[in-house]
Amino acid sequence: MIAENFGVNCAAATPVGADGAPRLDLFAAHCKALLNEGCHGVALLGTTGEANNFAVSERKALLEAALKAGVRGDQLLPGTSSCNVPETIELTRHAVDHGARACVLLPPFYYKGVSDEGLFHFYASVIEVVADDRLRVILYHIPQVTQVPISHELIARLRDAFPGIVAGIKDSAGDIANMTAMIERFPGFAVLAGADPLLLPLLQAGGAGCITATSNLRSDALRVIWDNWSDPEAADKVTAAQDRINGWRTLTNAYVQLPTVKAMLAKARGDADWRNLRAPLVKLTDEETNAVWAEMDRLNA
Amino acid sequence: MIAENFGVNCAAATPVGADGAPRLDLFAAHCKALLNEGCHGVALLGTTGEANNFAVSERKALLEAALKAGVRGDQLLPGTSSCNVPETIELTRHAVDHGARACVLLPPFYYKGVSDEGLFHFYASVIEVVADDRLRVILYHIPQVTQVPISHELIARLRDAFPGIVAGIKDSAGDIANMTAMIERFPGFAVLAGADPLLLPLLQAGGAGCITATSNLRSDALRVIWDNWSDPEAADKVTAAQDRINGWRTLTNAYVQLPTVKAMLAKARGDADWRNLRAPLVKLTDEETNAVWAEMDRLNA
Chain A, chain B: beta-carbon pairs less than 8 Å apart: 114
Helices (H) and strands (E) in chain A, counts: 12, 7
The CATH number of the domain holding residue B43 is: 3.20.20.70
Are residues B127 and B167 in contact, defined by beta-carbon separation less than 8 angstroms?
A: no
Rg (CA), chain A: 18
Distance, CA of A7 to CA of A184 (rounded, Å): 19
Chain B neighbors of A79, CB-CB under 8 A: none
Are residues A222 and A38 in contact, defined by beta-carbon separation less than 8 angstroms?
A: yes
Tell me if residue A212 falls in helix, strand or coil.
Answer: strand
Of B82, B87, B118, the CB nearest to A281: B118
- Closest-CA residue in chain A for B58? A86
Measured in whole angstroms, the distance separating CA B161 from the mean position of its chain's CA atoms is 25
The reply, when asked if residue B48 is annotated as ligand binding, is yes
**B68 assigned to some structural domain:** yes
Residue B212 distance to chain A (closest CA, Å): 17
**B264 assigned to some structural domain:** no
Helices (H) and strands (E) in chain B, counts: 12, 7
**A265 assigned to some structural domain:** no
* pLDDT score for A13: 98
Q: Which residues of B make CB contacts under 8 Å with A? A: 20, 47, 52-56, 58, 82-87, 90, 107-112, 114-115, 117-119, 121-122, 125, 144-148, 278-282
What are the pLDDT tens digits along chain A (301 aa)?
677 899 999 999 999 999 999 999 999 999 999 999 999 999 999 999 999 999 999 999 999 999 999 999 999 999 999 999 999 999 999 999 999 999 999 999 999 999 999 999 999 999 999 999 999 999 999 999 999 999 999 999 999 999 999 999 999 999 999 999 999 999 999 999 999 999 999 999 999 999 999 999 999 999 999 999 999 999 999 999 999 999 999 999 999 999 999 999 999 999 999 999 999 999 999 999 999 999 999 999 8
Phi–psi pair at B138, nearest 5 degrees:
-110, 115
**A241 assigned to some structural domain:** no
Chain B neighbors of A107, CB-CB under 8 A: 280
Distance, CA of A193 to CA of B54 (rounded, Å): 31
Residue B141 distance to chain A (closest CA, Å): 14
Domain range holding B121? 7-231
Quote the number of domains for chain B: 1
pLDDT (tens digit per residue) in B15-37 = 999 999 999 999 999 999 999 99
Pick the catalytic residue: B60, B170, B262, B267? Answer: B170
**A236 assigned to some structural domain:** no
Distance, CA of A2 to CA of A195 (rounded, Å): 23
Q: Do B85 and A278 touch (CB under 8 A)?
A: yes
Name the percent of chain B lying above pLDDT 90: 98
**A245 assigned to some structural domain:** no
pLDDT (tens digit per residue) in B254-297 = 999 999 999 999 999 999 999 999 999 999 999 999 999 999 99
State the average pLDDT over residues B227-239. Answer: 96
Complex ipTM tops 0.95? yes
Residue A271 distance to chain B (closest CA, Å): 23
Q: Do A87 and B55 touch (CB under 8 A)?
A: yes
* pLDDT score for B12: 98
* pLDDT score for A4: 82
Residue A284's Cβ-side half-sphere holds a number of Cα atoms within 13 Å equal to 27
* pLDDT score for A1: 61
Residue B125 distance to chain A (closest CA, Å): 8
Tell me if residue A236 falls in helix, strand or coil.
Answer: helix
Q: Which residues of A make CB contacts under 8 Å with B? A: 20, 47, 52-56, 58, 82-87, 90, 107-112, 114-115, 117-119, 121-122, 125, 144-148, 278-282
Q: How far apart are the first and last CA of chain A?
A: 44
**B299 assigned to some structural domain:** no
Would the pLDDT of B3 be above 90? no
Are residues A9 and A209 in contact, defined by beta-carbon separation less than 8 angstroms?
A: yes
Instruction: Count the neighbouring beta carbons within 10 Å of the beta carbon of residue B233.
Output: 7
Are residues B278 and B33 in contact, defined by beta-carbon separation less than 8 angstroms?
A: no
Query: What single string gives the DSSP state of each residue in A65-95?
Result: HHHHTT--GGGB--B---SSHHHHHHHHHHH
Tell me if residue B136 falls in helix, strand or coil.
Answer: coil
